Amino acid sequence: MTMPDLVALRRKLHADPEVGLQLPRTQAAILEALSGLPLDLTLGQKCSSVTAVLRGARPGPVVLLRGDMDALPIREETEVEFAATGEAMHACGHDLHATALVGAAHALAPQQSELAGSVVFMFQPGEEGHGGARLMLDEGLLDAAGERPSAAYTLHVLADRPRGMAYCRPGPIMAAYSILDATLIGRGGHGGRPHETLDPVPALAETVTALYAYVARRFDAFDPVVLSVGELHAGTAPNVVPGSGTLRAGIRTFSEAATARIAEELPSVVASVAAAHGLTAEAAVRPVMAPTVNDPDAAAVFAATATGLFGPGRYTDLVHPRTGSEDFSEVLREIPGAYGYLGAGPADRPATAGNHSPRAWFDDSILPGAAALLAGLARHHLLSPPAAGPVPARESNLPTGRSS
């Protein structure tokens, strides 16, 4: 598949984004792009997923490669000629991910007779908080090749990193995401006679402060918790004390232990503050995504493959995890693997916006390199014995990326 072919597919997907689990037009475009390849195809029953298996000529391990396909409910504000015009946008680069995975399938298919093992290509809808990975797992993704994969990889583009720079790290690389929902219940009344009420408003304010203090003082700084209250709601008029108020907070954690603790302890913090004001509280923490944790050996494979393809100046270890969240974590809970990044910022000007911005801009000249990296990760397991990679540069000495 040539670079113009890859760019054309990416721009087709970008101009016609779909949100959530049902992506019929995106699925059709992917199937058309895979047509003619020697793949066993399975379509999802509860979502518009595509699972494609390339079977090598000889027995060997199974490697899973993932590309997500869904967009975000954001109106695009870029000025590219292929910009989406509706209420959805590929603001996280999933159009590049799906295209790169198609490119990897085209790169590996001609080597079918040389492969010892199989490749599972996971085209996933519903990554943006819709549970698409879990649905695909529940529908038998890991059994698609006849045996479970022994390694799994995915690649995510970054609009705010230099074009063509690759990144990875062993251990946690993305945060878990949980949501705290809390309602404080008091007694409403006249704003001129607050002593006759049980006012939830000051209790809500104290709850915000208490939550921020709790995560800062009760959790290990080296296993951090990042909590942000993003919603506060109470009242309908300035002269009325409301009877109740609500808050919602997004919480990022980097270990299963911290994720379990916040689910157990934060509702008690809310209840204690409410009780101090004579109120009652209903509070619960809902887990949305688990932490994304890279297997150390798989992260080393990612580093060695990226360095071998791009050169030592275009790979660096991330010093710290990123605080976004990712449902490829569900795959990595079951299969050892690695999640890595590829910079896709513009080459001719500074990046003006990061992922999830309506102005996010991704340079699609990286597509051949992204496809080659995904294919190379599979080849590492299916064509040649594993080899130790060179020691990567540290993130603090980032070289300038060049075109893929």
Query: Is 60 exceeded by the pLDDT of residue 391?
Result: no
pLDDT tens per residue across span 56-72: 999 999 999 999 999 99
38 vs 36: CA distance, rounded Å: 7
pTM beyond cutoff 0.85: yes
Instruction: Please check the confidence at residue 392 and state whether its pLDDT lies above 70.
Output: no
Q: Flag whether 94 is marked binding.
A: yes
One fold for 3-173+291-397 and 176-289: no
Neighbouring C-beta atoms of residue 209, cutoff 10 Å: 11
Q: What is the pLDDT of residues 275-321, one digit of tens each?
A: 999 999 999 999 999 999 999 999 999 999 999 999 999 999 999 99
- Which residues, other chains included, contact 68 with Cβ-Cβ below 8 Å and sequence gap of 6+? 94, 97, 98, 124, 125, 127, 132, 154, 328
pLDDT tens for each residue of 149-158: 999 999 999 9
pLDDT surpassing 50 at residue 402: no
Q: Does domain 176-289 have CATH number 3.30.70.360?
A: yes
- Residue 156 labelled as part of a binding site: yes
Q: How does residue 79 score in pLDDT terms, banded at 50, 70 and 90?
A: confident
State yes or no: pLDDT of 102 exceeds 50: yes
Instruction: Please determine, for residue 350, whether its predicted confidence score (pLDDT) is greater than 80.
Output: no
Domain boundaries, the chain: 3-173+291-397, 176-289
Task: Supply angle C-alpha 118, 295, 365, rounded to 5.
Answer: 65
Cβ atoms within 10 A of the Cβ of 396, count?
7
Listed range (128-132, 221-225, 329-333, 386-390) with the worst mean pLDDT: 386-390
CATH of domain 3-173+291-397: 3.40.630.10
Q: Which of 44, 49, 54 is nearest to 67 (CA)?
A: 49
Average pLDDT for residues 160-179, to the nearest whole number? Answer: 95
Q: What is the mean pLDDT of residues 340-366?
A: 87
- Per the CB < 8 A criterion, the answer to whether 52 and 125 are in contact is no
Report the side by side order of strands in the sheet with 337-343. Answer: 40-43, 50-55, 116-124, 58-68, 151-158, 337-343, 166-168, 315-317, 393-394
Average pLDDT score over residue span 322-331: 94
Two structure tokens written together for 349: 């000007």
What tens digit of pLDDT does each residue of 30-50 get? 999 999 999 999 999 999 999
Mean pLDDT of the chain: 93
Q: Which residues of 270-307 are buried (b: 16+ CB within 10 A; e: fewer)?
A: bbebbeebebebebebeeebbbbbbbeebbbbbbbbbb
Compute how many other C-beta atoms are within 10 angstroms of the C-beta atom of residue 347.
15
> pLDDT category, 384, cuts 50, 70, 90?
low
Tell whether the model's pLDDT for residue 117 goes beyond 60: yes
Percent of the chain with pLDDT over 90: 90
Q: What is the 3-state secondary structure (H, E, C) of 61-114?
A: EEEEEEEECCEECCCCCCCCCCCCCCCCECCCCHHHHHHHHHHHHHHHHHHHHH
Question: Binning pLDDT at 50, 70 and 90, where does residue 393 land?
Answer: very low
Q: Is 356 annotated as a binding residue?
A: yes
Q: Residue 389 pLDDT > 60, yes or no? A: no
